[in-house]
Structure 1
Amino acid sequence: MRLLNRGGGNVISLHDRAVWQCASLLLAYPDESLAERLRTVDELRAAVRDRAAELLAHTITALRTADPMRAAADYVETFDLRRSSTMYLTYWTAGETRNRGGEMHAFTQAYLDAGVQPPADEAPDHLPVVLEFAATVDPVVGRRLLVEHRVPIDVLHDGLVDHGSPYAHTVAAVCATLPAPSDQDARRAQRLAQAGPPAEAVGLQPFTLTVPPRRAEGGR
């Protein structure tokens, strides 16, 4: 999930970039490299202050003390089996509609414009990918992508909180680096959480009866 920086980028707060990189590492699947990633996060947290550092510490502690097999199973259950906590950001903005391809392409194009190839093993709108891009490649464009998808990130956070997931603290730390959501954003996030993402509504043909209807009693 590494993105190689081939070009310069405008500098945003080192604090925010450190939070994004920590979050990208913590939100990755807890495989055999988890211990190494946690050591990297410990080093990066030196640039993180106040509340964000505390939030990240909650997730770090939970992952460091969890049984490895249990941590892996919890990750799959949390992010792969629960719609409310998916990390694919365009799921909440486009659902499983034809518009989603175009929205995912916008992420891919942002990476290409910055001089990097999107990861071959993950979708470009996956939150850990976006966070690493923002932290290490182009913080300005990366932050824009995060801000534009603040509502899906809020929905994700609320879903994690509802299930008591330790990953909620890391997503909260990411939210703290972004502008506060407007009242409209908050209402939209609540509607999405309750009703789900958009559904395909165009291109559907009217229902056509292909068998003769049953005749009414006594009809001929």
Structure 2
Amino acid sequence: MSMQTLKVLSLLLSYPEAEMLEAIDEMAEVVEQENLLLEDHKKSVLALIDSYRGADLMDSQEDYVALFDRGRFLSLHIFEHVHGESRDRGQAMVNLLQMYEAHGFEMSTHELPDYIPLFLEFLSQQEQAEAMQLLQDAMPVLSLLGARLTERGSEFRAIFDALAGFAGEPDELEEIRQQVATEGEDETVVYMDEIWEDEAVSFMGAGDACKSQTPAASPITITPREQFLKAQNRSL
């Protein structure tokens, strides 16, 4: 059973394109009829969809870039928040890509496997039980992003609240919220497109070292919890 609500959340979290603005009525209808989300979360997601009605595409794109592409705190790449620039990130992406391929899911060549909108699109095509399990594995990162968006008063927090309502909140949620409340501004000054391009080259060049390692359990499992929290402390 496909879950098109997750596809809608994927589109809402992607860089705004004209096709998305033309499909907002259809997106709202999916959220309403599929009724996958908790009522409060559904209302917030519908409000986010409504915010695009009559919106100027270029303004929406500029706002999106200013929010998600001007630092690392709100990077939409899962392993950015777990492994940073360590070698473990390349292997983690290889494992995730292997999972996609095992399910017959073909990804765009210009996105890394851990890009959250891509991950949500993949989940939308899976059985609900499997999608929920994979989301639960990713919830420490998703809750971190949701908390940071809440601190910024962004409507995009509705997406992450909805995912938490669907999959459940992580055990370390309180620690994540405490960290976000005290971490201050993201002062990273980087050109994210160049960084991601360099990291994509490193990922694709992982070579034979990755072939002998088969992913056990979920390729996005974030354990132990201390590893995730330490990664966040290093980013401050």
Q: TM-score, normalised by structure 2?
A: 0.69
Aligned match for 1:47, one of 16, 34, 37:
34
Match of 1:211 in 2: none
Could you say which residue in structure 2 is the equivalent of 1:218?
A: none
Query: Is residue 98 of structure 2 the alignment partner of residue 109 of structure 1?
Result: yes
**Which consecutive residues of structure 1, in runs of 5 or more, have no partner in the other structure?**
1-10, 201-220
Q: Which moved more, 1:133-142 or 1:54-63?
A: 133-142
The Cα of 1:153 is off from its aligned counterpart by 0.3
Cα RMSD over matched residues? 2.5
Which of 19, 22, 33 is equivalent to 1:36? 22
Q: CA deviation at 1:143?
A: 3.0
Q: Which runs of 5+ in 2 are unaligned?
A: 184-229
Within 1, Cα distance between the matches of 2:231 and 2:25?
A: 37
d(CA) in 2 for partners of 1:128, 1:113: 19
Q: Tell me the secondary structure at the aligned position of residue 166 of structure 2.
A: coil
Residues 42, 192 of structure 1: alpha-carbon distance in 2 compared, 3 angstrom cutoff: closer
C-alpha deviations, 1:142-164, integer Å up to 9, x for none?
33332111111011111111222
* TM-score in terms of structure 1 length: 0.74
Distance across 2 between alignment mates of 1:164 and 1:43: 26
Query: Which structure has the larger Rg?
Result: 1
Matched positions, count? 185
1:15-164 aligned within 5 A: 17-45=3-31, 46-48=33-35, 50-137=39-126, 139-164=128-153
Indicate if the aligned counterparts of 1:52 and 1:176 stay in contact, CA closer than 8 A.
yes
Q: Which amino acid in the other structure matches residue 15 of structure 2? A: Y
Which stretch of the first structure deviates more once superposed, 184-193 or 109-118? 184-193
Residues 155 and 190, structure 1, Cα contact 8 Å, conserved in 2: no
Task: Note if contact 1:104-1:125 (Cα within 8 Å) is conserved in structure 2.
Answer: yes
- Give the superposition deviation at 1:137: 3.9
The match for 2:159 is: 170
